Amino acid sequence: MRVLVTGATGNVGRRVTAGLVEAGVSVRALTRNPARADLPGAEIVRGDLTEPETVPFDGVDRMFLFPEPSTAKELVERAVRAGVRRIVVLSSGAVTGGFDTTFHPPVEQAAERSGVEWTHIRPGEFAANKLALWGPSIRAERVVRDPNPDGGWYPVHEWDVADAALAALLEDGHHGKAYDVNGPELISLRDQVGAIADALGEEIRFEEVTPAEAREIYRRLGGFAAEAADFLLGFTDYDGNAADPADAADFDPGSLGPLPTVSSVTGAEPRTFAQWARDRVEDFR
């Protein structure tokens, strides 16, 4: 068996790659920059999902597919022609909720129409988002600036998402299923900051700011924080349509009840945000 892991240097893809190597599986890890990949035990290849012709499928049986909707149909068609017989899609819980109608659905649909086995992994909010949003200010000042400190969600450890993907890649019985994978607890932003502080063994201040002020902070950070600022803070919906941040602040996620976790896929206990903070503590020092 040989598995192609796309998005292999991302938070989930890196863990999927390591898990496959540990299981004794031949792994081809796709990245745009092989020199910076650092993926022990994997065959590292250069390629870009936006250029399907650069993705090497020879000898590949199964694929972990990072979402790139602009080329998903062509990429999957090439994969199937080359002999890929199982595709596991890294999707989003926003598809289940009906919020995402344009980004992940085309990738899911390409897999579903491929004629081969498929499984969708739909994570909710990633705990790792906090590295991009809060990491710089925690490292520099031991402070977090964000609105709505008592608002929260069910942030999921990226290792739980990877474990669900590994099960779908390696085990039978997952074909045709879409798995939502969330964290096990509703935890406020204030308590998330507290968990990171506990992991560091140092105090972290929480300074409440307005959504508009937070948006400027996110934009100055660049990268994911800047790209996702409007959506994360409620100025737009998932598809980029204008929205009111007050509506997001008023929503009570506790009304949803417990959300599905990795347990529904692997039977393992889901990792808490506190565990995530301990696992990633060096990124906040």
Q: pLDDT, tens digit, for every residue of 145-194?
A: 999 999 999 999 999 999 999 999 999 999 999 999 999 999 999 999 99
pTM score of the predicted model: 0.96
Closest C-alpha among 147, 174, 101, 90 to residue 124: 90
Across the strands, what pairs with 30? 45
Q: How far apart are CA 73 and CA 90, in angstroms?
A: 15
Angle in degrees, CA 28, 172, 116, rounded to 5: 65
Report the pLDDT value the prediction gives residue 256, as an integer from 0 to 100.
85
Structure confidence by residue, pLDDT tens digits, 90-135: 999 999 999 999 999 999 999 999 999 999 999 999 999 999 999 9
Hey, CA dihedral for 75, 174, 42, 61, is it positive or negative?
negative
Report the pLDDT value the prediction gives residue 257, as an integer from 0 to 100.
81
SS3 content of the chain, % helix, strand, coil (to 5): 45, 20, 40
Residue 259 pLDDT class (50, 70, 90 cuts): very high
pLDDT at 249 over 80: no
Lookup: tokens for 191: 């308590």
Report the pLDDT value the prediction gives residue 109, as an integer from 0 to 100.
98
Helices (H) and strands (E) in the chain, counts: 12, 11
Residues 49/54/57/62 CA torsion (nearest 10 deg):
-10
Residue 253 pLDDT class (50, 70, 90 cuts): confident
Q: How far apart are CA 8 and CA 28, in angstroms?
A: 9
Q: If 0-12 CB within 10 Å is exposed, 13-18 middle and 19+ buried, where does residue 64 land?
A: buried
Q: Assign 179 to helix, strand or coil.
A: strand
**Residue 183 contacts residue 154 (beta carbons within 8 Å):** yes
* Domains, in order of start, for the chain: 2-123 (3.40.50.720), 129-155+184-256+269-284 (3.40.50.720)
Report the pLDDT value the prediction gives residue 250, as an integer from 0 to 100.
74
